Amino acid sequence: MDNSGEACEGVVECTALVLAEGYTELDGRITLFGVMDEIRTSGDGTSFVVYAKFEGCEHAGGKERWARFIVADEEGNVIEESEEQSVLLDGTEEPATMLVRFDLPEEIEDEERVLWIEAILDEETLSQTAIRLQKNYNV
């Protein structure tokens, strides 16, 4: 609370931003597999999933928020962007999660580069991470 006696507007943080090769879901629980520290391109398409967990303070409940992910290059040019999803938080009781699969365009698979993944909530970047895109060489 601030000095005027009014509650805060509900602080929300992105407490996890994870990239993985894929996932499974069983009984409402998500299991990520192949957590990635780099993306290896593939001749038959390069895809990955992005998972984020949003947690809020006790004043964060009762308000619908909108979240999305952006994949951008080093210059900030957007390569892929997810659809916005509704994120509902109920104070500190239950975190909200978001999971999106991305399929990279073939034209960027030919270059080794760094990609930036951003978790955006209500048009504010809450978390971002960089990951190297590497060519997958056949031996």
Mean pLDDT, rounded, for 122-132:
94
User: What is the three-class DSSP state of 124?
Assistant: strand
Confidence check: pLDDT of 86 > 50: yes
**Residue 111 φ/ψ, nearest 5 degrees:** -115, 140
Instruction: List, for residues 87-115, the tens digit of each pLDDT value.
Output: 888 766 788 899 999 998 877 766 788 99
- Enter the pTM of the model: 0.85
Q: Pick the residue with more confidence: 132 or 6?
A: 132
- Give every CB contact of residue 77 below 8 A, 6+ residues apart in sequence: none
CA angle 31, 92, 32 (to 5 degrees): 10
CB half-sphere exposure, 19, CA atoms < 13 A: 24
pLDDT attached to residue 51: 96
Confidence of residue 61 (pLDDT cuts 50, 70, 90): confident
Q: Which of helix, strand or coil describes residue 61?
A: coil
